[in-house]
Structure 1
């Protein structure tokens, strides 16, 4: 998959984590798909909103 190729290239260039900053990307990439930590901004924002209320 192209997203995995891109992430792997970023990791080879020093990336220590990947921000999944679009609502559709977490449907394509899961933590199990790559060796580096991924951060799903949709889930992060939803969790923060629930904690706030």
Structure 2
């Protein structure tokens, strides 16, 4: 990726890692999972 953009796919973390991309990479599946666990544990 040479320009800014969003790779909006929950499986993208299975294909690429941060060291494969020069832009910040956020694994949305991991973020959603962590937020769900945090939410449940706060109850």
Q: Using structure 1 for the length normalisation, give the TM-score.
A: 0.59
User: Equivalents in 1 of 2:33, 2:20: separation in Å?
Assistant: 23
Aligned residues, how many?
40
Distance change (3 Å), C-alpha of 1:26 and 1:20: farther
User: In the alignment, which of 16, 40, 45 is matched to residue 27 of structure 2?
Assistant: 40
Deviation above 2 Å: which 4+ runs of structure 1? Answer: 18-21
Structure with a larger share of its residues in strand: 1
User: In the alignment, which of 15, 19, 39 is matched to residue 28 of structure 1?
Assistant: 15
User: Equivalents in 2 of 1:44, 1:20: separation in Å?
Assistant: 14
Q: Using structure 2 for the length normalisation, give the TM-score.
A: 0.68
Do 1:20 and 1:41's aligned partners in 2 also have CA atoms closer than 8 Å?
Answer: no
